[in-house]
């Protein structure tokens, strides 16, 4: 039996919708499980990424922990894939880019409706927010991108199948939508 592909996944500033879409490959997961071994992923609950063939990154970069995780994935994964609109353009979290970070924090923690004991959290264990929300290709090199919100399940299947067969993934028209 040939060696299985090691695959890790994570969600940064995302909603896990891309992971849900990945699960939507349904029964094809049985075939995928034959060729893929999962490393760090919300699907396995393994906390630290180890040496992998493919890393799938959902979500954009909005805080210092995202940057740390992303750089670790880049270090450990031979192929890194931006998955979904948030990873590729910042997506919904990037709506805060229209405002200064200070304005966002004040609106949420000081002036927002129903706020009790207003204070901006500053516990040192909390990751610092970045000034803006960034696409992941601005932090590390990305090898492939799966567009969509979320990318269709078949796009995940094509990506993994193609890479397991040592060929370039080919996204047909129906698989490369941005919405």
Partner 1 sequence: MPQTINIDKQNIPFSEGQSIIEAAEQAGVYIPHLCHKAGYKAHGSCRLCTVTVNGRWVSACTEPAEAHQQVENNTRELQSQRRAIVQLLFAEGNHHCPFCEKSGNCQLQAVAYSLDMHDTHFAHQLPQRSLDASHPDVLLDRDRCIQCELCVRASQEYDKKNVFALSGRGPSTQLIINSESGKLKDSQINKNDEAIKVCPTGALMNRSKPFSIPIGQRQFDKIPIDQQNTCVPDTTEAST
The residues binding partner 1 (CB under 8 A) are 82, 85, 88-92, 94-95, 97-98, 132, 134-135, 137-138, 142, 144-147, 149, 171, 173-174, 176-179
Q: How far is the CB of 96 from partner 1 (least distance, A)?
A: 11
Q: How far is the CB of 26 from partner 1 (least distance, A)?
A: 20
Rounded CA-CA distance 57/67 in Å is 12
Q: Quick one: 55 or 147, whose CB is closer to partner 1?
A: 147
Q: Quick one: 166 or 173, whose CB is closer to partner 1?
A: 173
Q: Quick one: 40 or 86, whose CB is closer to partner 1?
A: 86
Cα–chain center distance at 76: 15
Q: How far is the CB of 33 from partner 1 (least distance, A)?
A: 26
Rounded CA-CA distance 91/101 in Å is 17
Q: Quick one: 100 or 165, whose CB is closer to partner 1?
A: 100
Nearest to 149 by CA among 87, 69, 98: 87
Q: How far is the CB of 49 from partner 1 (least distance, A)?
A: 22
Strands 52-58 and 5-11: parallel
What count of other Cβ atoms lies within 10 Å of the Cβ of residue 147?
A: 21
Q: How far is the CB of 121 from partner 1 (least distance, A)?
A: 25
Strands 129-134 and 36-38: unpaired
Strands 77-83 and 5-11: unpaired
Q: Quick one: 55 or 91, whose CB is closer to partner 1?
A: 91
């Amino acid at each position: 039996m040939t060696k299985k592909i090691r695959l890790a996944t994570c969600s940064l500033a995302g909603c896990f919708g891309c992971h849900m879409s990945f699960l939507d490959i349904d029964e094809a997961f049985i075939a995928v499980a034959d060729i893929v071994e999962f490393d760090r992923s919300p699907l396995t609950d393994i906390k630290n990424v180890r040496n992998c063939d493919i890393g799938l990154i959902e979500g954009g970069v909005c805080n210092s922990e995202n940057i740390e995780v992303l750089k670790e994935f880049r270090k450990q994964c031979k192929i890194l894939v931006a998955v979904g609109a948030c990873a590729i353009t910042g997506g919904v979290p990037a709506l805060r880019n229209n405002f200064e970070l200070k304005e966002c924090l004040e609106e949420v923690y000081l002036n927002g409706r129903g706020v009790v004991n207003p204070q901006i959290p500053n516990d040192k264990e909390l990751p610092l927010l970045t000034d803006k929300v960034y696409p992941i290709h601005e932090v590390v090199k990305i090898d492939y991108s799966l567009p969509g919100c979320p990318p269709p399940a078949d796009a995940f299947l094509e990506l993994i199948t193609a890479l397991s067969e040592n060929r370039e993934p080919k996204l047909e028209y129906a698989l490369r939508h941005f919405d």
